[in-house]
Amino acid sequence: MNQVYNFSAGPSMLPEQVMRKMQSELLDYRNMKVSVMEVSHRGQDFMELSQKAEQDLRDLMGIPDNYKVLFLQGGASAQFSMVPINLLRGGSVANYANTGRWSVKAIAEAKRYCDVHICTDSKENSYKDIAEFDSWNIDTNGAYLHYTPNETIDGLEFDYVPEVDMPVVADMSSTILSRPCDVSKFGVIYAGAQKNMGLSGLTVVIVRDDLIGEPVDKQPVLFNYSTQANNQSMYNTPSTFSWYAAGLVFDWIKGLGGLESMANINKEKSQKLYSEIDNSELYSNQVNPKYRSWMNVPFVLADDRLDKLFLEKSYNANLLALKGHKAVGGMRASIYNAMPMEGINALVEFMSDFEKQYG
Ligand SMILES: *Cc1c(COP(=O)(O)O)cnc(C)c1O
């Protein structure tokens, strides 16, 4: 079989090395005679594995000691509720930046718990741009500011962290580990694992100690950061195989040289693809170049009657899952850490040939 490149937005491509490692250890994990899928999360082997994964993530991201790292379930979507449940602490207002379709979802859920103050709204520009931070209207009574550093569907990515006098909460699902990040600027960082950290079923939450309060009345016990932190994310059975897989992904990133190296590669990959789009007559991407995502590259064809043919031909060329999100249409290439430069080269070559033939 020729090399296949999978541009799925999530669950997404995994590094081949990571899958080979899983395969080699699948039936007998380190001479335990059983699979890592089949053992207690409280046994010594799993404890060692889970602690090593946490330490590797701490090393990669430079997570300060006054932050807990939680390995939870429920996806980023569960955090849409857990954030207000844990951070409002009697407050009635929270600031939310609306910069794309994932912000919209986070906002809808937060509205069930508090008054959501929209401090900037990209809806006005159809989620193609982010207003200058100076122009944001922050409610100083807000318990926190929530934003989405990378909008997976719309292809917008922040190149800065908003600085405000309240905890900053970031849904980093589709950008975590793709570039260096100063964790000390955040109150909470959360991310589903299925984009840049491995398999679905695992959600990593990085939360500053002082934001972990007493359990909140009348809320599900599992939705309290304190329950999870006090029990090392093992109040109940965690998603063990996804935790193991994330550990392998962290190892793989360390082997590549960490987040600085990842950033250099990701920047180059995305530039190559945007430049193919910008230099063509057939393809276009309307996001303000300053805020174009390094991870998710949506683009449309000048004539949407060619969409079907583009998808058929690209599939036959082993370039998979390029169909855009239904809210946006057109195409989307998700090019997370696991996508190698060769995959970008193959896509760019395909696009250029397709344009010559049909454009
Ligand atoms: C994928 C994604 C989500 C949803 O994640 P789930 O794990 O399915 O809940 C939320 N936010 C962003 C930015 C995403 O990319």
Which listed CATH number (3.90.1150.10, 3.90.550.10, 3.40.640.10, 3.40.225.10) goes with 17-255?
3.40.640.10
- Asked if 115 contacts 142 with a C-beta cutoff of 8 angstroms, the reply is no
Q: Where are the domains of the chain?
A: 17-255, 257-358
Contact 166, 142 (CB under 8 A): yes
pLDDT at 212: 97
Catalytic residue among 56, 68, 102, 243: 102
254, 59 Cβ separation under 8 angstroms: yes
Q: Quote the DSSP letter at residue 289.
A: G
Peptide bond just before 220 cis, omega within 30 deg: no
Q: What is the pLDDT of residue 2?
A: 76
Compute the distance from residue 8 Cα to the ligand 1 centre, in Å.
13
Q: Indicate if 195 belongs to the active site.
A: yes
Name which residue sits closest to atom 6 of ligand 1, judged by CA.
Answer: 75
pTM of the shown model: 0.98
Provide the CATH topology of domain 257-358: Aspartate Aminotransferase, domain 1 (3.90.1150)
- Residue 321: left (phi > 0), alpha (psi -120 to 50), or beta? left
> CA-CA distance, 298 to 156, in Å (whole number)?
10
pLDDT values of the chain reduced to their tens digit, one per residue, 359 residues: 579 999 999 999 999 999 999 999 999 999 999 999 999 999 999 999 999 999 999 999 999 999 999 999 999 999 999 999 999 999 999 999 999 999 999 999 999 999 999 999 999 999 999 999 999 999 999 999 999 999 999 999 999 999 999 999 999 999 999 999 999 999 999 999 999 999 999 999 999 999 999 888 889 999 999 999 999 999 999 999 999 999 999 999 999 999 999 999 999 999 999 999 999 999 999 999 999 999 999 999 999 999 999 999 999 999 999 999 999 999 999 999 999 999 999 999 999 999 999 98
State residue 1's pLDDT score.
53
Look at residue 347 in the predicted model and tell me its pLDDT: 98
From residue 108, give the alpha-carbon distance in Å to each of 76, 127, 146, 316.
14, 17, 13, 39
What residues does ligand 1 touch, defined as CB less than 6 Å away? Answer: 10, 75-77, 102, 148, 152, 171, 173-174, 192, 195
68, 195, 269, 323: which one is catalytic? Answer: 195
> Which one of 99, 173, 335 would you pick to mutate in the ligand 1 pocket, going by the greatest count of ligand atoms within 8 A of its CB?
173
